[in-house]
């Protein structure tokens, strides 16, 4: 099941970019701009799927999203049916359409999740508490210490701890990440029975916990240890009814604020020459793959929630005045129109080419950081 959810997550991630480009495609068509190609994935081209109304629909080898190639994409191009010849308002609509599609996708996903059960992934996550029903509350192994009692007993990261208790005694159900340390301390030095779930299957194992003396002695060293040898995480799912649209809107506002805070930290790191700080708040395809891989054990709600947040992030990034992205292309066009200057093809290529090169450098740095972070 987890493999299926991982594949589903990756397909949906690629689909977010395709949906974004579909927005450009629809608005360009409505604005009288010819669309020469609509591609799924990035070149080189693998196959032409069909040709219709002057548009070539292609499947490409790099499965990282999609693209739309408009006729005469330079602002200086005045050929009939070209992007450059379109009125300014039409250009604005074309550039903004991708952002709108991602915002709508994020909102619809969040509303649906709120109705069926939405994960709580951040502190003080937006909620309408008087209309909230907790449908799932799991404690899982977030970090497993090497050589710990938990590892020796065969437990693994992301195993869900269901209960703990004396081997021949009553079992204590674990509902919060605070409950587990409480019981492991209570049973210090004893052999306990731990029931856990892995891939949806309930299992059990006996664990010899560390003694109080061993744990206290370790606190005086550079390598303090716990009774169990793990760091627990909590995965909670809440469901809403009439307030689902409100919850979705509140979450979009909250995660937009968090995204801008992260971008602010990244920009500050770049100006300070601190590449680690500049990239620690962001992640790339490698990081997204790892998040989807690890989260696939938590169920489809987690996967869909991550996809919704990625869709929101794509909208935010593409509305910013970053050269080579939608917001940057529109920003440059508006600046030149405001200055009453002609944006030449050479100047446009230089501006967006430089922006694209810088984005590629940042992409490489983020990928390197992600590989070090997760592997």
Instruction: Show which of 200, 220, 238 is a domain's final residue.
Output: 238
Per-residue model confidence (pLDDT) at position 177: 84
Q: Specify the 3-state DSSP secondary structure of 316.
A: helix
Per-residue model confidence (pLDDT) at position 263: 77
Please check whether residues 167 and 256 belong to one and the same domain: no
Number of domains in the chain: 2
Instruction: Show which of 190, 209, 238 is a domain's final residue.
Output: 238
Burial class (CB in 10 A: 0-12, 13-18, 19+), 253: exposed
Please check whether residues 281 and 362 belong to one and the same domain: yes
Please check whether residues 185 and 233 belong to one and the same domain: yes
Is the Cβ–Cβ distance between 341 and 348 less than 8 Å? no
% of the chain at pLDDT higher than 90:
54
Please check whether residues 267 and 302 belong to one and the same domain: yes
Instruction: Dig out the tokens for 31 from the structure.
Output: 């604005």
Instruction: Dig out the tokens for 86 from the structure.
Output: 């379109």
Q: Answer yes or no: is 343 within a domain.
A: yes
Please check whether residues 167 and 192 belong to one and the same domain: yes
Q: Answer yes or no: is 193 within a domain.
A: yes
Q: Answer yes or no: is 54 within a domain.
A: no
Q: Answer yes or no: is 13 within a domain.
A: no
Please check whether residues 154 and 259 belong to one and the same domain: no
Q: Answer yes or no: is 25 within a domain.
A: no
Between residues 251 and 13, the one the model is more confident about = 251
Per-residue model confidence (pLDDT) at position 3: 79
- Inform me whether the pLDDT recorded for 278 exceeds 60: no
Q: Answer yes or no: is 103 within a domain.
A: yes
Residues making up the chain, counted from first to last: 375
Please check whether residues 339 and 326 belong to one and the same domain: yes
Mean residue pLDDT of the chain comes to: 88
Q: 151 lies in which domain range?
A: 133-238
Please check whether residues 302 and 164 belong to one and the same domain: no
- Inform me whether the pLDDT recorded for 374 exceeds 70: no
pLDDT in tens, 336-345: 888 888 888 8
pTM summary value: 0.85
pLDDT in tens, 183-230: 999 999 999 999 999 877 899 999 999 999 999 998 888 888 999 999
Per-residue model confidence (pLDDT) at position 271: 66
Please check whether residues 248 and 214 belong to one and the same domain: no
pLDDT in tens, 88-116: 999 999 999 999 999 999 999 999 999 99
């Amino acid at each position: 099941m987890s493999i299926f959810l991982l594949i589903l997550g990756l397909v949906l991630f690629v689909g977010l970019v395709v949906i974004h480009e579909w927005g450009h495609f629809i608005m360009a068509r409505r604005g009288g701009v010819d669309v020469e190609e609509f591609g799924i994935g990035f070149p080189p081209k693998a196959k032409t799927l069909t040709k219709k109304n002057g548009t070539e629909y292609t499947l490409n080898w790099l499965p990282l999203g999609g693209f739309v190639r408009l006729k005469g994409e330079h602002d200086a191009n005045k050929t009939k049916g070209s992007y450059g010849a379109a009125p300014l308002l039409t250009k604005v609509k074309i550039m903004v359409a991708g952002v709108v599609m991602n915002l709508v996708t994020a909102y619809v996903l969040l509303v649906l999740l709120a109705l069926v059960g939405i994960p709580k992934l951040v502190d003080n996550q937006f909620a309408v508490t008087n209309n909230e029903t907790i449908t799932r509350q799991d404690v899982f192994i977030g970090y497993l210490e090497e050589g710990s009692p938990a590892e020796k007993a065969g437990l693994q990261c992301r195993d869900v701890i269901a209960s703990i208790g004396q081997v021949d005694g009553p079992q204590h159900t674990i509902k919060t990440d605070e409950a587990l340390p409480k019981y492991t301390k209570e049973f210090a030095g004893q052999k306990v029975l731990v029931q856990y779930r892995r891939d949806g299957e309930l299992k059990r194992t006996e664990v010899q916990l560390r003694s109080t003396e061993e744990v206290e002695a370790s606190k005086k060293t550079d390598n303090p240890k716990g009774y169990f040898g793990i760091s627990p995480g909590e995965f909670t799912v809440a469901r809403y009814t009439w307030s689902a649209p409100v919850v979705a809107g509140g979450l979009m506002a909250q995660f937009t604020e968090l995204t801008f805070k992260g971008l602010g930290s990244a920009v500050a790191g770049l100006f300070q020459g601190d590449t680690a700080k500049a990239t620690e708040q962001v992640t790339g395809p490698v990081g997204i793959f790892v998040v989807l891989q690890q989260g696939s054990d938590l169920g489809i709600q987690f996967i869909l929630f991550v996809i919704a947040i990625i869709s929101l992030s794509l909208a935010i990034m593409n509305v910013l005045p970053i050269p080579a992205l939608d917001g940057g292309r529109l920003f440059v066009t508006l600046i030149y129109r405001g200055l009453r200057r002609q944006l030449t093809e050479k100047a446009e290529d230089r501006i967006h080419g430089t922006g694209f090169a810088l984005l590629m450098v940042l992409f490489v740095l983020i990928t390197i950081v992600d590989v070090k972070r997760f592997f």
